[in-house]
Amino acid sequence: MSNLFNMPDEVAHGFSRSAKDFLNALAGIPASAAVAPAVLHEAGARYWGQQWALWSNMLNPQHAADEARRDQRFRADEWTSNAWYNLLRQSYHANAGLLEDMVGATGYNESEKHRLRFFMRQLIDAASPTNYAATNPEAIRMAIESNGESLRTGMTNLFGDLARGTITITDEAAFEVGDNVAASKGAVVFENALFQLIQYAPLGTHVARRPLLIVPPCINKFYILDLQPENSFVRFAVEQGQTVFMVSWRNPDAQTAHTTWDDYLESGVMEAIDIALAITGADKVNTVGWCVGGTILSSALAVIRAREEEKVASLTLLTTMLDFTDPGDLGVFIDEQTVVQRERSIGSGGLYPGRELGFVFQMLRANDLIWPYVINNYLKGKSPAAFDLLYWNADSTNLPGPMYTWYLRNMYLENNLRVPGKLTMCGVPVDLGRVDMPAYVLATQEDHIVPWKSAWRSTQLLGGEAQFVLGASGHIAGVVNPATKNKRCYWVSGEANSNPESNADGWFASAQQASGTWWNHWIAWLQPHAGGRVKARTKLGSMKFRPIEPAPGRYVKTRSG
């Protein structure tokens, strides 16, 4: 498997450690991790009960069909109508359940169990009979109907992906950055070695006095917020009268392989704030940060406040972690040994390849982002459909080693940002409690990267009044929920988020569900911080910061090697 998908060292290391831990747990080694007999007995009883039900249900096709519909991998008719496939499917589920129960029966602590459970789930997902030509009825049927052509095409697809070193998940030829994605009108008005700053053209006669600066993640490209007009957060904000500036991070290469975390603050966010203010002549900016972009933005604002500067009117954080107590599934890849290894290899200079990071994120949702494409591309010989979000997902970015390893150690491993004065950034000790401007903190209910309760903890760290909102869906779809479609829902509460006695569960108990997208709620929240309205400028940039090139600029078009 490592050879087939070019598994990164960090992922392979995690698999090997997890396998060793699992064997030790079953053998009762170490003693502190011995299997709990009562739990193991319960797991065994449940397993044999499932085996009995398995044979009984072979005579009840309707029950089997209802059960199969709950797992989309087994939606083909043969998984219920054919006795052999029905038996195979139910046996797989029973065996998977037993393995998961056995992990639960170990005496490991919750953190170790989480890691073991995650990698066990990867192995369980990989073992699904749907993933293999000999046990996938749809693949067999297509091979027969096409006289083997589907298998031949599948092998061609496989060899093509092996040469690329990644699985093809969308029709990349269907999109072009600057043409049908990242197509909002604007201009690059500043650039340095780290980022380009894009100013978007107004769509009305009047705009907010204070500009809106968006800081996207540096681990992805910014155009997730500007895919196509109907689902573009950028266009929505511009339509609502915001003068939008976007940070477009450079895709790091050998020339920027020594970039540090402080560089991302001082030469990145803080520089962008100053330029947005200079161009618009406003007293303050409103800011938005997404994911690690929000962590970088919050760190920069902590530096600004430590320097007694007041440049920012409000802070919006989209699925961002500031407290890494519970980092979710990403935490299974990070421990002292892994971080030390990365520090030795790239901590003083070098690149963490975007392709490796992309594979890690795919593993978090393997049944959505890996195995369906293995089945369709290789077993069925199909070509992936065109999907703008997946095109963006495949457009990976590198990370500079010094910045990446500092981030791993101080955020994920040691969780230092939440401790006032523990970290010194740009020469000053930082305290998130001094980030005292109003904050809008968005989390999403099914987020597998930033668990929503972890995002909620930001309201306890920031010093200003915080409005917490919980959106439906996950890390991407919960954020990119356009007002044009007004789908899904979100939760809001009048509870004081700054109350130190409150917690995430208590907040949710008092929250009210609202239909549609959080976008409309956010723009209404932002309005009081806009500083009034002024006539929109007909020209972008200024005398000092003249347009360099049309949006989206060169930096976002650079692909990882």
Burial (Cβ within 10 Å: 0-12, 13-18, ≥19) of residue 513: exposed
Cα–Cα distance measured from residue 396 to residue 450, given in angstroms and rounded to the nearest whole number: 19
Cα–Cα distance measured from residue 521 to residue 519, given in angstroms and rounded to the nearest whole number: 5
Cα–Cα distance measured from residue 114 to residue 524, given in angstroms and rounded to the nearest whole number: 40
Q: What is the 3-state secondary structure (H, E, C) of 214-277?
A: EECCCCCCHHHHCCCHHHCHHHHHHHCCCCEEEEEECCCCHHHCCCCHHHHHHHHHHHHHHHHH
| 445: Cα separation from own chain's centroid | 13
Convert 290-307 to b/e letters by CB count within 10 Å (16 or more is b): bbbbbbbbbbbbbbbbbe
Cα–Cα distance measured from residue 261 to residue 267, given in angstroms and rounded to the nearest whole number: 10
37-57 vs 83-105: helix axis angle to the nearest 10? 170
**Residue 315 — φ and ψ, nearest 5°?**
-130, 125
Cα–Cα distance measured from residue 340 to residue 336, given in angstroms and rounded to the nearest whole number: 6
Q: Is 291 a catalytic residue?
A: yes
Pairing of strands 549-550, 533-535: unpaired
| Residue 238 tokens, joined | 């511009």
Q: Which residues contact 133 (CB under 8 A, 6 or more apart)?
A: 139, 140, 143, 151, 379
110-126 vs 9-27: helix axis angle to the nearest 10? 110
The residue assigned the tokens 């031949």 is 152
Pairing of strands 244-249, 212-215: parallel
Residue 18 carries which DSSP code?
H
- Which of 42, 132, 133, 129 lies closest to 90 in space, CA to CA? 129
- 251 in Cβ contact with 559 (< 8 Å): yes
Catalytic choice (218, 291, 426, 489):
291
Q: What is the 3-state secondary structure (H, E, C) of 341-379?
A: HHHHHHCCCCEECHHHHHHHHHHHCHHHHCHHHHHHHHH
| Residue 392 tokens, joined | 């963006």
Helix spans in 432-503 (H):
452-456, 458-461
| Residue 205 tokens, joined | 């006669």
Enzyme catalytic residues: 291
